[in-house]
A and B are shown apart, each in its own frame.
Chain A
Amino acid sequence: GIQVEQSPPDLILQEGANSTLRCNFSDSVNNLQWFHQNPWGQLINLFYIPSGTKQNGRLSATTVATERYSLLYISSSQTTDSGVYFCAAGGGADGLTFGKGTHLIIQP
């Protein structure tokens, strides 16, 4: 099956900083999603991005499918951005394989 690796595993930043989270996947995929899991455990979908670039406010994501990686950019971090960011990949509408996540802490 598909392997998904995320880096870095942990990241501590000051409020206002920018960050880049990376997701590598082992095989071609046509479904790639980014999620934020808040400290209460709720998973929120950030992007459905099997290829290309999308932006939503301070967040943007780029997937280069031919090179099997995706990047999530967070600009001007806020304390509410803290939590775990997961990348998940798969084939179409089948079940997704999640990475182990990047644990982000934004300090005031």
Chain B
Amino acid sequence: DTGVSQDPRHKITKRGQNVTFRCDPISEHNRLYWYRQTLGQGPEFLTYFQNEAQLEKSRLLSDRFSAERPKGSFSTLEIQRTEQGDSAMYLCASITWSPPTRGGYTFGSGTRLTVV
């Protein structure tokens, strides 16, 4: 168990470019979440997957944001046509959630995006 891995750790991009982030969850966890955290705020929920199924995506911030988890293992979060307001820390978390087994999140270290 190597924890939740996120790549890259930092990304600087020019406004208008597309970016993609990757998250590798803990292998035995069945749910994967994406959050965004801006300076001085708590994380904000974006979307989540159970295995390869995306169960909630209405909280994605705009249609420029999309996420995939094609084989139920790693996930990607893509932002198209980036804007300066997209600058934030993007966090991934995973859990085991198969009632009666429930648990707390394990977060990755995040990807810090800066749009210039």
What is A's interface to B at a CB cutoff of 8 Å?
A: 4, 31, 33, 35, 41-48, 86, 88, 92-101
The interface residues of chain A lying within 8 Å CB-to-CB of B91 are: 43
The interface residues of chain B lying within 8 Å CB-to-CB of A86 are: 42-43
Query: Count the B residues whose beta carbon is within 8 Å of the partner chain — how many?
Result: 28
A96 to B105, CA, bound (A): 10
Q: Which of B59-109 contact A (CB under 8 A)?
A: 59, 89, 91, 93, 95, 97, 102-107, 109
Determine which of B40, B43, B44, B95 lies in contact with A43 in the assembled complex, contact meaning CB atoms within 8 Å: B43
A88 to B93, CA, bound (A): 13
Cβ B104 vs Cβ A45 within 8 A: yes
Q: Which of B25-58 contact A (CB under 8 A)?
A: 31, 33, 35, 40-48, 50, 56
The interface residues of chain B lying within 8 Å CB-to-CB of A88 are: 42-43
Cβ A45 vs Cβ B105 within 8 A: yes
Cβ B106 vs Cβ A98 within 8 A: no
Interface of B is mostly: strand
Decide: A93 near B97, CB < 8 A? Known: A98-B42, A98-B44.
yes
What is B's interface to A at a CB cutoff of 8 Å?
A: 31, 33, 35, 40-48, 50, 56, 59, 89, 91, 93, 95, 97, 102-107, 109-110
Residue from the set A43, A47, A97, A101 with the largest chain B CB neighbour count within 10 Å = A43
Cβ B48 vs Cβ A100 within 8 A: no
Please, which residue of chain B has its CB at the minimum distance from the CB of A43? B107
A98 to B45, CA, bound (A): 9
Cβ B48 vs Cβ A95 within 8 A: yes
